[in-house]
Structure 1
């Protein structure tokens, strides 16, 4: 037997196999029905002269046989359709870790600065983050990924979902200026925590469920906290209570500790490092696109441990085919009766 045929046979299944017992129903009924007494058939003798031109090359016996074949084929097709034939195929397993990750992105005005490079061209910081971040998100198939953006205010750009492709597209479509041009780091992290574990946050006094260690926030900023209602370090302490790891990425070639020209809106590396340490995460420093790629790979490895999820059976129903055959047989019976 060819391999493809063997695979097809092994995948074949019936949803209701006992329905095939109905194939014998006509024989059982014929056996149980009382025999017809002689002289009660109601047959009518017709002179041959009246039916001689009706056949036109086809005998009545042949037509009767064809009718019998159509009736039996109709009944068999209906029974097979009722049994629910189908193919049971295994879906490709996705890597799964059970993690929930929210990428928290700074969309302040400083992200428009063109001091990064892509494919040999100078681009804005946001363009580099879109390219690297979208690739990171797509690699996390099997995890629930969300996207939070912050500036003057914070908002959920994409709720946590297993549809990593849609979250990556949302990141690629992000623009600056939707919620201001300042930097509210604390509010951005706070909203991410709220979407990750609303039940725990509501009962942060210790009466709620134990913190989960599979929840992660990746926070990227190129400035200092100068907007919002919350302190970044206080929110990082709350993340520790909830068991949420925070990875911070300080973006930009210049920071507050190394700013000879006293430029405005430079990254606050110290605050971001303290936030990561308080929450039990890790802080990263990024000055170039290569650094950003290396950080994405590092976080991907730190949050690895993904295993193949159990395959999910996919069932493809085949009953419409015998049902269509039964319909064709019914049409054939009507045509034979019309010609009779």
Structure 2
């Protein structure tokens, strides 16, 4: 249905139901054409003439008094029931939603080293995972118009949220995912592989993987570089963000360094770019930079909101049927002498 039609404000979900409207008139006509059943002989009860006249006169008067209202109520009940079956509904234009044609899989490291508190949030010490959840959830929530999915990994990879336009729901999933749910090691290849598998089923013109990690690939059997090559062959770009104050070049034996060189290589193979985040501000800057790189013109998708109205005619049909039953009940009584 077009938007202009929807703005008319009303339609029926099953308009063919109105074909049943003349059924009460047609059924008696069809019944008359059916062959009559033979009646078996039956006995008769002799009733005194005066008593028979009194009974027949009272019943006839009651029937005459109730036949017109009963027919009207029956007709109204049937008509209201048919209207309810047709599914009346009100229509209104839904708010327009931008549609970008991009599918983005956020692939986030939740290994044990993400518990290290070398970041700050609002001037207070915070763990890497807390910073990742804060900045990552904000980045996801800003991707209105994109289909966004979420893969978390450590020793194993887990698809936490499928590709969806509901970016707020994906952001909530990230905030609610606990550390350690998929182990404590870092299997970057497994996380990338699962994200690529989800995007390989997508027909979107632009497909992107955003990988946030703080360590080197030390678990799993999948080579992340091979996954990046496959991603490039499939037209999927890979962006990486390395989280951590110390990297493998400046590592002095203390702390948990980030293998930024490996993340740079992944991004280069995958046709994207690599960013380094030493603190929360750097993480926010990296997310903004990636956001700018994957930006593009967005189309607009307008929808229609439908509200079912069938309970109203259904309730009227029920009341009319109840009134019909009461009217028939009163008409079946005998007139006073």
Task: Compute the displacement of 1:126 (Å).
Answer: 0.2
Identify the residue that residue 326 of structure 1 maps to in structure 2. Answer: 317
- Deviation, 1:152, is 3.0
Which residue in 1 is equivalent to 2:39? none
Q: Contact 1:147 / 1:159 at 8 angstroms: preserved in 2?
A: yes
Paired with 1:104 and 1:327, the residues of 2 have a C-alpha distance of 56
Describe the superposition over 1:272-312 as per-residue Cα deviations: whole angstroms up to 9, x where unpaired: 11221222111111112122222223323322335344323
Distance 1:213 1:9 in 2: 32
Normalised TM-score (structure 2): 0.75
Give the TM-score, by structure 1 length: 0.74
For residues 18 and 152 of structure 1, do their structure 2 counterparts lie closer, same or farther at Cα, with a shift above 3 Å needed?
closer
Q: Which of 293, 305, 319 lines up with 2:284 in the alignment?
A: 293
* Pairs within 5 Å for 1:211-250: 214-250=206-242
TM-superposition CA deviations, 1:198-223 (whole Å, max 9, x none)? 69xxxxxxxxxxx9752111111112
2:330 is matched with: 339
Q: 1:293 to 1:10 in 2, by over 3 A?
A: same
Equivalent position of 1:312 in the other structure: 303
- In structure 1, what is the equivalent of residue 246 of structure 2? 254
Given that 2:21 and 2:78 are in contact with CA atoms closer than 8 Å, whether structure 1 keeps it comes out as no
Long gaps (5+) in structure 2: 33-50, 332-337
Q: Is the 8 A contact 1:248 1:273 kept in 2?
A: yes
In the alignment, is residue 100 of structure 1 matched against residue 111 of structure 2? Answer: no
- Decide whether the 8 Å contact of 1:97 with 1:305 is kept in 2: yes
Quickly say closer, same or farther: Cα 1:257–1:91, change in 2 above 3 A. same
Q: Which residue does the alignment assign to 2:161? A: 158
Distance in 2 (CA, whole Å) between partners of 1:225 and 1:17 is 62
CA shift for structure 1 position 112: 0.8
Unaligned runs of 5+ in 1: 1-6, 34-43, 200-210
Distance 1:285 1:23, change over 3 A: same
Per-residue displacement from partner, 1:10-47 (whole Å, max 9, x unpaired)? 301234279389479859x99xx9xxxxxxxxxx9966
C-alpha distance 291-71 of structure 1, shift in aligned 2 (>3 A): same
What CA deviation, in whole Å up to 9, does each residue of 1:255-278 have, x standing for no partner?
A: 22334x343530122221122122
Return the offset for 1:241. Answer: 1.3
Q: Please say if residues 213 and 245 of structure 1, whose CA atoms lie closer than 8 Å, have aligned partners that are also in contact.
A: no
- Residue 203 (structure 1) aligns with: none
Match of 2:42 in 1: none
Partner of 2:260: 269
RMSD, aligned CA: 3.7
User: Paired residue for 1:208?
Assistant: none
Q: Does structure 2 conserve the Cα–Cα contact (< 8 Å) formed by 1:284 and 1:295?
A: yes
Distance 1:75 1:154 in 2: 59
After the TM superposition, which residues 10-25 of structure 1 pair with which residues of structure 2 at under 5 Å, given as runs? Answer: 10-14=8-12, 15-16=14-15, 19=18, 22=21
Give the conservation status (yes or no) of the 8 Å contact 1:212–1:244.
Answer: no
Work out the number of aligned pairs and report it. 304
